[in-house]
Amino acid sequence: MTIRVGINGLGRIGRSVLRAIFEVENYSEQIEVVAVNGSLSAEQHAHLIKYDSVHGKFNGDIDFNESENWLSINSRKFSLYRERSPENIPWNVDVVLECTGAFNKRAEAAKHNAERVIVSAPVSDADVTVVYGVNNDMLKKEHKVISAGSCTTNCLAPIVHILHSNLGIKSGFMTTIHAYTNDQNILDGNHRDLRRARACGLSMVPTTTGAAKTIGSVIPELKGKLDGTAIRVPVSNVSMVDFKFLADKRATTKEINEIFKNSANHVLSVCNEPLVSIDFVHNPYSAIVDLAGTYVTGEFYMPKYEELNETQQELYGKLQAAMEEHENIIDLLTGFSKEDLVKILTTVKCIELKDGEEHTLTPLAYAINLKNSLSSQRYITNILSVAKDKDILEKVLTTANIKIKLSNGQEYTLTPLVHAIILDKQRGIQAILNVAKRNSILEKVLTTANIKLRSSGNHEYTLTPLTYAINFTNQEASQKSIKAIIDVAQDNDMLKKVFASIKKDHLNKTKNILEILKNQEQDEEQKAKIDGWLKILAKSISSCESKDDPNKKMHDRVKEICEKQEQEDWKLTLERIVPNHKNKDIYYDVLKEILDSSSKDPQQIADRLTVLKKIISGCESQEQSLVDESSIPKTEGNITKDTVKTTNKPIIIGCVCGAIAALAVGLGLYFGAALPILTMIGIAMAAAVLTGLVAGDITYKMSKPSEDLNNVDLLSEQIYLSLGV
């Protein structure tokens, strides 16, 4: 049975299809070309069919008639139309091959007057997308508009189909290095895609492709598991697909190549020769697998510190191996859940070095450690771009699980930023900080105190990035790191937050180091920048001193008491506290501030202030009385701690004298006959003891207040403690 066919569009694809029908054996016997629709004259179409700059000269006979509007190939004549609208073309055919690239929606393609329309491009709402050799068994009689997908889809689909059937594909990423097309410009010109607007023969042009996503329409179980990108390069024909995937089953390079060899057919072929792209021009296969380009990246391993599920183990292992083999790791990380990515990107692997050192690194830390700075930068950027979710980034950048154990017993537990700073990886530092800033997590990255330092003496310290840098024993490294951290804070508000996250003594150390840097700096612009940092730092130090001020603490405590207590309660509380504080006016100032800012009754405000004045006034008069009448002992009333200590001095003197007297009497009795003078001294000292004890007892009784002294001391201590002074 012969199929009657019409071809709409005689551009690159339309002409190639027409030539193939007459070049490939038996095609012309099964397919009858009834008509073609183009925009050029019959002569122009005939010439372009016969002479092709890429595929060479057509071997058949070509003829045409301009007045009668027909073309003929190998004596088989067919009509030539020049219609712009599909519905105006009098096809009278079974199948229309839609090759213009202009009618890529089902409704538009369906306007052709034919039983079926096959579109040579992706159609999102087509009845079915078919890649021959992969899913042509899906074709049904009721399908009218059929999409053949793109050229890249027809290359990728057979490869994916074979791999998925034999190994199972969990996810994959494709990069097509694609020949330029007539959609691009020879010289810079107009185009909706600004990259394709540039001269196609002078640059590699990154662009988009839907080929990988279309695979989901061809192989439904892979829907959403594949993605890809394209790079247009300055070659006229033959494109390449670089496909990376994560498999359900493990296989060696040799086993994968054997799978392709055994699956080769009229759609997919294999090549084991060292050929280049031009060698495949005019090749009839949809895909040719370069067996020399098959790679399996490394062995999988179980992380030392965390357990991963099977999927995570495989991906993490592949990720590590990819970095070791300098592969494009971003392909391996797409399409995985947030939970998987967090687990993978914060999981560590222990690497033992010489001299007993151990480095326990995350993938990001491993990338930072690479000696090749360009590879390091690429991997850092790729990892951070994959972890684009804010929650994932926050965990990746603030989790301190990078461990460095030195031979002397010291251990460091670091965040990625501090790790990059220590290694002086400026590109890594900037990449981390830029992505942190874009995702509004810079403050957490710079101020979170989760960096741990365990000294050889087993002392552990928990630090922020800045305090860690301050504690460097190497002064030059310390200066460089502090400058790097402060420099990336960038704006004044962020710098204030960074300074606010560390203690006063560390702020003073930072000040000293910045002053040294300022004096060493030759560049005036840099000097001015450091001077600006010092001004902000001075305010932070001043703020710390204000927080440490006892009067400030007292102020806050009094404010709390006055705000919470009712009138009688606060009056009683102040009567007990005020006498024991040296700066009593602070109570009046605080209470006035509180009452003035409140909406209480003005009379109540006045009453409270009056009460407080009386309390303060009473305390002052009592203090004055103690000063003026200090020579007159009192038997009752208020007494200060200093007064009590003074009146107890005779008792202390008496006790000391008693001890000396006892020693003298003992020696006198023992050596009485030989040393009579010691006996006399002993008797004299004994008399002094008795005098001291009596005098001390009298003074104590005269000075003792009416309430129990121990209770006064205890109450005072409790009040001082509760006020934080």
Task: Give one DSSP letter per residue of 5-24, joined into a string.
Answer: EEEE--SHHHHHHHHHHHHS
User: Six-digit token pair at 666?
Assistant: 């003992």
Secondary structure (H, E, C), 412-461: EEECHHHHHHHCCCHHHHHHHHHHHHHCCCHHHHHHCCCEEEECCCCCEE
Question: Annotated catalytic residue: which of 151, 155, 562, 657?
Answer: 151
Q: How many helices (H) and strands (E) does the chain have?
A: 29, 23
Q: Does residue 151 have an active-site annotation?
A: yes
Element (H, E) at 155: helix 151-166
How far apart CA 149 and CA 211 sit, in angstroms, is: 8
**Helix (H/G/I), strand (E/B), else coil: 105:** coil
Residue pair 97/14 in contact by the 8 Å Cβ criterion? yes
Residue 271 CB contacts under 8 Å (≥ 6 apart), including other chains: 288, 289, 290, 291
**What residues form DSSP beta bridges with 3?**
31
User: Six-digit token pair at 147?
Assistant: 């999409």
State the sign of the Cα–Cα–Cα–Cα dihedral 426, 429, 434, 435. positive
Residue 712 CB contacts under 8 Å (≥ 6 apart), including other chains: 639, 705
- Tell me phi and psi for residue 144, to 5 degrees: -100, -50
User: Six-digit token pair at 461?
Assistant: 């310290």
Rounded to 5 degrees, what angle do the CA atoms 191, 194, 198 make? 80
How far apart CA 384 and CA 331 sit, in angstroms, is: 13
How far apart CA 465 and CA 472 sit, in angstroms, is: 11
Residue pair 104/149 in contact by the 8 Å Cβ criterion? no
**Which has the closest alpha carbon to 356: 284, 409, 414, 293?**
409
How far apart CA 75 and CA 250 sit, in angstroms, is: 56
How far apart CA 604 and CA 610 sit, in angstroms, is: 10
**Helix (H/G/I), strand (E/B), else coil: 167:** coil
**Helix (H/G/I), strand (E/B), else coil: 389:** coil
Alpha carbon distance, N-terminus to C-terminus of the chain: 105
Instruction: Give me the active site residues, please.
Output: 151
